[in-house]
């Protein structure tokens, strides 16, 4: 059987043009988010591709014209052998009209050993490699004893968490690989949550009353919500510095856990004292922390800051955290993910990596976030492992090395085969 697997791996080199064409086909489907609501045709292509390889298909709309696709290939001895989820997102980063691409972002080209096109690195390359591996196993007549589940999800770029919807639908496995951009590192990740902090007065005032608020004898207990938000921002900066000193995580540079005051909105117009101010923050936290823990730390600190201010004490800030969509409700959550380097699947993946590349796999943490945290939160041991470099993701002339795509396809094929042939203890 090992001889047969080696023969299949050799075919990836011999048939690399088919792999390249598969990736080019995926890129040609215009699926940027925002604007989103544009993935149905691409997802239908993947559903048909998997169905032809013997997968049962579950395809449902998460949003209009944005369906998830889950293909399940039932193992011949599913009760006895390990199951695997391969997860990737079909949406890609938006393309602004001002970006100066050398080519049309959705008409991919091959040049100097790379494929150029939106989504090549993030992350249609990962999906293409996994799909091609499935095709070769199918053509070789390989019948996996364990279940293989492929999830092509929507919404990752805008926090709409198609992967979370898969988890809610009940899809589970003994291990999951998120085939997102990792430069063939086996990775965990920190988490990200956005939130809105609001300072609001219960009354409004003409701007001519400002003197009464800020000078002796004014006798008006009032304040500008914008100016009071400055105190909140200073409080966030104080907490951010405290975190940088007191928290750390191997693989992250000190102070990677940040609180970014990203957007501020407030005031009515120049004839009013601002009666409301809203601050949109983005918080990065470490893999061994939860967003619930982080929310509590921020709220406790900011409410303590408010209690030290006479006006904020009576008009405390309010908080709204997370959200299901950066498009719909301007909020998102990406849970953190820790990778257990001693987990048998991680060791198995590292072994496949070494067999193909003849060098040890790097197990570390991603500086960005993926949907992997949702799988981890659902109790599924998970790792990120995919082709592509982050500096190419979301970039003008986004690109993916063909050599790395081939290497990745070999590794993921070998891992699928080995893990789904691993007996449960």
pLDDT higher than 70, residue 399: yes
Residue 4's pLDDT is 86
The average pLDDT across 294-314 equals: 98
Domain spans of the chain, in order of start: 2-189+337-419, 191-321
How much of the chain exceeds pLDDT 90, in percent? 97
CB-based contact 316:310 (threshold 8 Å)? no
- Which amino acids are annotated catalytic? 91, 156
Q: What tens digit of pLDDT does each residue of 181-240 get?
A: 999 999 999 999 999 999 999 999 999 999 999 988 888 999 999 999 999 999 999 999
pLDDT higher than 80, residue 299: yes
Q: 197 forms bridges with which residues in the sheet?
A: 279, 319
CATH for the 2-189+337-419 domain, from 3.40.190.10, 3.40.630.10, 1.10.150.120, 3.90.190.20: 3.40.630.10
CATH for the 191-321 domain, from 3.90.280.10, 3.30.70.360, 3.30.2350.10, 3.40.50.2020: 3.30.70.360
Q: Is the dihedral of CA 298, 302, 307, 311 positive or negative?
A: negative
Residue 425's pLDDT is 84
Residues counted in the chain: 425
How much of the chain exceeds pLDDT 70, in percent? 100
CA–CA distance, 318 with 277 (Å, rounded to integer) = 11
Q: How confident is the model at residue 1 (pLDDT cuts 50, 70, 90)?
A: low
Q: What tens digit of pLDDT does each residue of 18-66 get?
A: 999 999 999 999 999 999 999 999 999 999 999 999 999 999 999 999 9
Residue 3's pLDDT is 79
What's phi and psi for 237, nearest 5 deg? -65, -40
Residue 175's pLDDT is 98
């Amino acid at each position: 059987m090992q001889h047969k697997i080696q023969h299949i791996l050799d075919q990836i080199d011999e048939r690399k043009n088919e792999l390249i064409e598969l990736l080019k086909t995926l890129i040609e489907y215009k699926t940027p988010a925002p604007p989103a609501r544009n993935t149905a045709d691409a997802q239908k292509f993947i559903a048909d591709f998997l169905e032809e390889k013997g997968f049962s298909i579950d395809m449902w709309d998460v949003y209009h014209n944005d369906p998830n696709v889950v293909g399940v290939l039932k193992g011949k001895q599913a009760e006895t052998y390990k199951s695997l989820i391969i997860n990737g997102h079909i949406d890609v980063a938006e393309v602004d009209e001002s970006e100066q691409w050398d080519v049309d972002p959705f008409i991919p080209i091959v040049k100097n050993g790379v494929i150029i096109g939106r989504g090549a690195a993030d992350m249609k390359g990962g999906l293409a490699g996994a799909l091609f591996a499935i095709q070769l196993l199918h053509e070789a007549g390989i019948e996996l004893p364990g279940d293989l589940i492929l999830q092509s999800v929507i919404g990752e770029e805008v926090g709409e968490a198609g992967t979370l919807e898969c988890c809610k639908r009940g899809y589970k496995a003994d291990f999951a690989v998120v085939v997102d951009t990792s430069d063939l590192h086996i990775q965990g990740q920190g988490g990200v949550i956005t939130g809105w902090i609001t300072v609001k007065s219960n009354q409004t005032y003409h701007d001519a009353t400002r003197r009464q608020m800020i000078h002796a004898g004014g006798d008006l207990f009032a304040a500008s919500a914008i100016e009071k938000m400055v105190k909140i921002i200073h409080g966030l900066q104080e907490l951010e510095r405290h975190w940088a000193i007191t928290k750390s995580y191997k693989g992250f540079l000190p102070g990677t856990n940040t609180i970014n005051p990203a957007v501020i909105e407030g005031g009515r117009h120049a004839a009013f004292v601002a009666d409301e101010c809203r601050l949109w923050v983005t918080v990065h936290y470490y893999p061994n922390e939860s967003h619930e823990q982080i929310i509590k730390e921020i709220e406790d600190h900011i409410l303590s800051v408010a209690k030290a201010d006479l006006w904020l004490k009576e008009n405390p800030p309010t908080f709204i955290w997370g959200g299901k969509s950066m498009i719909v409700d301007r909020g998102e959550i990406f849970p953190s993910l820790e990778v257990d380097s001693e987990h048998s699947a991680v060791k198995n993946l590292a072994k496949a990596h070494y067999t193909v590349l003849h060098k040890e796999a790097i197990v570390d943490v991603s500086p960005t976030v993926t949907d992997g945290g949702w799988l981890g939160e659902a109790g599924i041991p998970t790792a990120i492992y995919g082709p592509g470099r982050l500096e190419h993701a979301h970039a003008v002339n986004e690109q993916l090395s063909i050599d790395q795509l081939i290497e990745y396809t070999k590794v993921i094929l070998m891992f699928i085969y080995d893990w789904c042939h691993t007996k449960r203890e």
